[in-house]
Structure 1
Amino acid sequence: MPISYTDQQIREKAASLGLIQEGADLPRQLRGKVVAAMAYGDAAERHQAPEPQLAGEIVIHGSSILIDGEHFPWLVAAQPMDIGLNPDGVSTVRLTLMAASVQVIRPEPRPESEH
């Protein structure tokens, strides 16, 4: 998909980066750098993991698992499931997923201000 930005979007981004004053014209030699910064930001946004969400309904019928009406797309091991039903709150399902490879990456420590 080709990258396309309006002149106004490019000027606004240049101003937010501090390259020009608000409303000023952008020098031609900086235009490519601003567009590259915008494209990089858009690509990073597309590759971020979506926010986790609470399933509305999980239905388990034999080997079929439906989450909010959609089939669960991964293989589930033939292991016992731990199902916690809580009619007054959030219920839980714990199951075992199968994978050809598993990689565990320790998260970066968060600064104290984010705790």
Structure 2
Amino acid sequence: MPISYTDQQIHDKAVQLGLITADAELPRNLRGRVVAAMAHGDAAERAAPVEPQLAQEIAIHGNSILVDGEPFPWLVAAQPMDIGLNPDGVSTVRLTLMAATVQVIRPEPRPESE
């Protein structure tokens, strides 16, 4: 997938890197360096494992599911949901996700010294 950034994104990154001020124009000889820095950062972000986080709020309105105010990005099967409400702690929602394919990979066995 080709990397593509807008002129404004490149300008903003150059300002963030301290190469220019916000009202200055980016010299053409620095543009490639800024794009390379952006691409490197994007690659590192994709490679870094995402830490699981606790949702602050899940709202279910008919067919719409919002997680922390953002639409849930996956298809949910028309199956009953299991909702556990716990006013004194962490509540839970169990639902069925739809997928074109599913792959189950066994974890490698841990050495006994761990």
Do the structures match in fold with TM over 0.5?
yes
CA RMSD of aligned residues (A): 2.5
Match of 1:61 in 2: 61
Amino acid in structure 1 at the alignment position of 2:105: I
Rounded Cα–Cα distance in structure 2 between residues aligned with 1:44 and 1:113: 32
Q: How does 1:1-115 map to 2 (within 5 A)?
A: 1-2=35-36, 46-114=46-114
With normalisation by structure 2, the TM-score equals 0.59
> Cα offset for 1:108?
1.6
Rounded Cα–Cα distance in structure 2 between residues aligned with 1:43 and 1:82: 37
Amino acid in structure 2 at the alignment position of 1:66: L
> Cα offset for 1:47?
1.8
Rounded Cα–Cα distance in structure 1 between residues aligned with 2:74 and 2:46: 23
Rounded Cα–Cα distance in structure 2 between residues aligned with 1:72 and 1:109: 33
Structure 2, unpaired ranges of 5+: 1-34
Rounded Cα–Cα distance in structure 1 between residues aligned with 2:43 and 2:108: 22
Distance 1:109 1:96, change over 3 A: same
With normalisation by structure 1, the TM-score equals 0.59
> Cα offset for 1:48?
3.5
Q: Deviation above 2 Å: which 4+ runs of structure 1? A: 42-46, 109-114
Rounded Cα–Cα distance in structure 2 between residues aligned with 1:112 and 1:48: 27
Quick check: which has more Rg, 1 or 2? Answer: 1
Amino acid in structure 2 at the alignment position of 1:75: L
> Cα offset for 1:113?
4.7
Give the SS at the match of 2:36.
coil
Distance 1:73 1:45, change over 3 A: closer
Rounded Cα–Cα distance in structure 2 between residues aligned with 1:71 and 1:43: 25
Structure 1, unpaired ranges of 5+: 4-38
